[in-house]
Every structure is written in structure tokens, then in C-alpha cells.
Amino acid sequence: MTKMTGIPAVLTAAGNDGGAEVVVYRNGEITLVQVKHSRSGVHVDTGAIGDLVGASNTYNVALRHSVRMTVVTNTDWRWMPNLNAAASAST
């Protein structure tokens, strides 16, 4: 990512990433990236979001800085209907 865009990014430790594979720093903001790849076409579910929220709690404390979050995948999302309703109600 750094070579392609010039944006500073760090890969986290494999297998012990706490829910974030990449930490990106740009314009004073930190973004945690959760990457989900599926070879078999299995849909990504809300567990990826839960992992990322857990990672954000860890990184907020460790970096003493609030963080943004994003999930990147090569497949589709599998949403839970009650999660969609809760998200709509909170906006």
C-alpha cells in the first residue's frame, strides 16, 4: 500500500492481529483494516465487524488515538436482519 499510494501503512502480526490486518496513517487519522478473503465464495458475516470493533478498542488504548475502521473483502456480505434494523434505527 505504501509503495502504490505513498500512504503509510503497517501490516500487523500474522495470526495475532487482534482483528486488524493493516494499520493506515493518513492526514492525522488512523484507520484499521480488516481483510477477509474467500476462495470458496463463502460470504463474510458480521463476525468480521465484531473482530474489528474489538481491535479498535485495543488500538484506541495502545495508540491513545481514536481510530476509523473498514472491512475489505473479495466476496459478499451476509447481513443479519436484526443487525440491519438496529443499524437503520441508530442513523
Predicted pLDDT of residue 17: 62
Tell me what the pLDDT averaged over the chain comes to.
75
**CB contact set of 18 (below 8 Å; sequence gap of 6+):** 12, 51, 54, 55, 58, 59
pLDDT in tens, 19-63: 788 889 888 888 988 888 877 767 777 788 888 888 888 887 777
Q: Is the pLDDT of residue 85 over 60?
A: no
- Considering the segment(s) 2-90 as one domain, its CATH architecture is 3-Layer(aba) Sandwich (3.40)
- pLDDT confidence band for 80 (50 / 70 / 90): low
* Residue 51 burial class via C-beta count within 10 angstroms: exposed 0-12, middle 13-18, buried 19 and up: middle
